[in-house]
């Protein structure tokens, strides 16, 4: 599993998104207090509280990509939990005509989705800036070809994708690159 690690300062894009992240965290903090005191959900409120604390800590650490990614993953897990509980909770609250509970229960998965998608955008920016998965997240103007004709490993003489396979003098299979390498080795001995 690939988990991003930040070396040095955060990217300029991540730093510019602090206001959006603080807005998401303010909404999540308000929903946390509503969840604890209005809906009286202790277990969901506890996990949401840990999630909100992780988000505020990530902001305090200058949008560290490791912490922002962890916050996004926790939000994705909370999204699954909140969506499942919202499906049953909204139906019971509508029957009992408790519209504030319906509104709060429906707002929780939405805030989780907003936070998870925000963290995903920060992660994509980090990967475009030179992460391990950069070919997957390159923009259309900087797409990297997967199968190029002149790859750096081919120019170094490490083999070709479209190499001809032939039989050598002893009946064994040998590629053109292997023959060239053998000729260079023989010249070195002579």
Q: Whole-model pTM above 0.85? A: no
Count of other CB atoms within 10 angstroms of residue 146: 7
User: Under DSSP, is residue 81 helix (H, G, I), strand (E, B) or coil?
Assistant: helix
First to last CA, the chain: 49
- Six-digit token string for 173: 């299979």
Q: What is the pLDDT of residues 25-49, one digit of tens each?
A: 999 999 999 999 999 999 999 999 9
| Tokens 């070396």 -> residue | 7
- Tell me the C-alpha distance between 32 and 46, whole Å: 9
Confidence band of 93 (pLDDT split at 50, 70, 90)? confident
Higher pLDDT: 171 or 50? It is 50
Give Rg (Cα) of the chain: 27
Segment 18-24 mean pLDDT: 96
Average pLDDT of every residue of the chain: 79
Query: What is the mean predicted confidence (pLDDT) over 106-124?
Result: 95
- Residue 157: its pLDDT value, please? 46
**Are 106 and 86 in contact, with CB atoms under 8 Å apart?**
yes
Which 3 state secondary structure label does DSSP give 165?
strand
The confidence band for 180, taking pLDDT boundaries of 50, 70 and 90, is: low
Per-residue confidence band for 165, with pLDDT thresholds at 50, 70 and 90: very low
Q: Which H helix or E strand runs over 9?
A: none
pLDDT surpassing 60 at residue 125: yes
The whole-number average pLDDT for the span 157-184 is: 48
Going by pLDDT thresholds of 50, 70 and 90, the confidence category of residue 164 is: very low
Least confident of 36-40, 59-63, 145-149: 145-149
């Amino acid at each position: 599993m690939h988990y991003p690690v930040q070396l040095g300062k955060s990217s300029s894009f991540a730093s510019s998104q602090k206001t959006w992240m603080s807005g998401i965290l303010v909404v999540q903090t308000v929903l946390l207090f509503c969840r604890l005191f209005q809906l009286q959900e202790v277990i969901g409120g506890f996990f949401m509280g840990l999630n909100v604390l992780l988000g505020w800590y990530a902001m305090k650490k200058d949008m560290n990509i490791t912490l922002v990614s962890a916050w996004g993953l926790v939000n994705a897990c909370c999204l699954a939990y909140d969506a499942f509980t919202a499906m049953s909770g909204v139906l019971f609250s509508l029957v009992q005509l408790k519209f504030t509970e319906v509104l709060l229960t429906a707002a929780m998965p939405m805030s989780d989705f907003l936070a998870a998608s925000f963290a995903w955008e920060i992660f994509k920016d980090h990967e475009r800036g030179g992460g391990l998965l950069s070919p997957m997240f390159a923009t259309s103007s900087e797409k990297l070809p997967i199968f190029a004709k002149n790859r750096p490993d081919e120019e170094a003489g490490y083999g070709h994708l479209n190499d001809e396979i032939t039989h050598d003098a002893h009946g064994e299979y040998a590629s053109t690159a292997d023959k060239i390498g053998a000729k260079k080795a023989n010249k070195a001995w002579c």
